[in-house]
Amino acid sequence: MKKRVLLLLFIAVTNLLSAQYHNKKLHKIFDSGAFEISIPNEWKEITPTYPYYWVKEFKLKDSSFNSYFKIAQYRIKDSKNNSLEDIVRNKVERYKKSKHREFSFAIEKKNINSHLVLKTTSWRKWYKKRSKIKHTTEFLKKGDDLYVFWYVDSTKTSVKFENQINRVISSLKRIKSFNKGPYIRIYKRSGFQVSFMSDWKAGKIKGKSIINSILFNDVQHNDTPAFSVESEYFVLKNDMSLKELESLIIYKDEWLKNYIELKSRVTEEFIEFTGIWKSNIPGGRKKIIRYFKNKTKIVKVTYSNNTRYFNKYTKERKLFFGSFKLNNEL
């Protein structure tokens, strides 16, 4: 069964792929529509946790395998002078510099110009030196494009899993060239999912966990727009209707204080507050805040900006609120 795979590169200095991320010979690419790949039906897509929260991962349902599969995508800079073997060696050298890990490695040459396989063995944790884990990274070069497949072999890896890996990688079909421009990305966190533009900076809310919060900032302008989600803003002791919850939120949420004007409405899905708050910026700061009830957890979804530029981001606001889904809706 073919599944369109969302392609994401992740930043994680403790992960093998971090060496590729810092390789100056490569240019990171985010383009989910550039290729197609066949994934076995028994594989299960899982939501990664920090620090790998923006990686597409697949995991076998059979927990005895405990095997992961990740994909990264790059454009090779000056491919005539940067061979695939040079790129793999660069990865090895960077990994050797890791302070808390020792590892052994071997490079298998399926095709030195287009397909290399790097096998490494390292500690699971720096303080558990006897606990080893095997990593395999396959580099598949297509012209100036590079696909990197990374997977973990557990101690119970079977011939079946190895055959599945071979079929998955060989099934890669490029549909088009990489698109380096902005596109819509899907972000998954604990309790929710939301879509947003790839050229905006995505991070966490200050003082909150990266696992259950997200914050989007426009890195290209100084209009100070901010889109945010907190999946566990607070937890109810007793279940109540949204209408009953409205009064509780006004009392409980300190961020609703100090407003200049405030309007509220209650729908079948959420409670919404729209208003203008006092700010150091002339005209104040306007916000749309929606509160969703996910069982006993209250999820807070906010768009905030200077009143002067609030309507400038109508397109982004519609995408943000329109794509938001709770986990029980997925």
The H or E element spanning position 216 is strand 213-217
Please determine, for residue 216, whether its predicted confidence score (pLDDT) is greater than 50: yes
Q: What does the pLDDT look like over 9-19, one tens digit per residue?
A: 222 323 444 44
Looking at the structure, do residues 126 and 198 belong to the same domain, yes or no?
no
Please determine, for residue 327, whether its predicted confidence score (pLDDT) is greater than 70: yes
**Structural domain includes residue 212:** yes
Q: SS3 helix, strand, coil % of the chain, rounded to 5?
A: 20, 40, 40
- What pLDDT shows up at residue 201? 83
Per-residue confidence band for 62, with pLDDT thresholds at 50, 70 and 90: low
Residue 215: which domain range?
A: 184-329
Per-residue confidence band for 55, with pLDDT thresholds at 50, 70 and 90: low
**Per-position DSSP letters for 229-282, written without gaps between them:** EEEEEEE-SS---HHHHHHHHHHH-GGGSSEEEEEEEE-SSEEEEEEEE--SST
Give the C-alpha separation, 73 to 9, whole Å: 7
- What pLDDT shows up at residue 94? 76
Looking at the structure, do residues 207 and 167 belong to the same domain, yes or no?
no
**Structural domain includes residue 179:** no
Give the C-alpha separation, 174 to 178, whole Å: 9
Could you give the number of structural domains in the chain? 2
Tokens 């100056």 map to which residue?
Answer: 24
Per-residue confidence band for 3, with pLDDT thresholds at 50, 70 and 90: very low
Q: What does the pLDDT look like over 289-306, one tens digit per residue?
A: 999 998 889 999 999 999
Give the C-alpha separation, 74 to 142, whole Å: 10
- Of 174, 199, 230, the last residue of a domain is 174
Per-residue confidence band for 2, with pLDDT thresholds at 50, 70 and 90: very low
Looking at the structure, do residues 118 and 193 belong to the same domain, yes or no?
no
Please determine, for residue 127, whether its predicted confidence score (pLDDT) is greater than 70: no
Tokens 């989910």 map to which residue?
Answer: 32
Q: Which two tokens stand for residue 238?
A: 């007793």
CATH code, domain with 200: 3.40.1000.10
65-79, 166-180, 314-328: range with highest mean pLDDT: 314-328
Looking at the structure, do residues 203 and 129 belong to the same domain, yes or no?
no
CATH code, domain with 72: 3.40.1000
- What pLDDT shows up at residue 195? 93
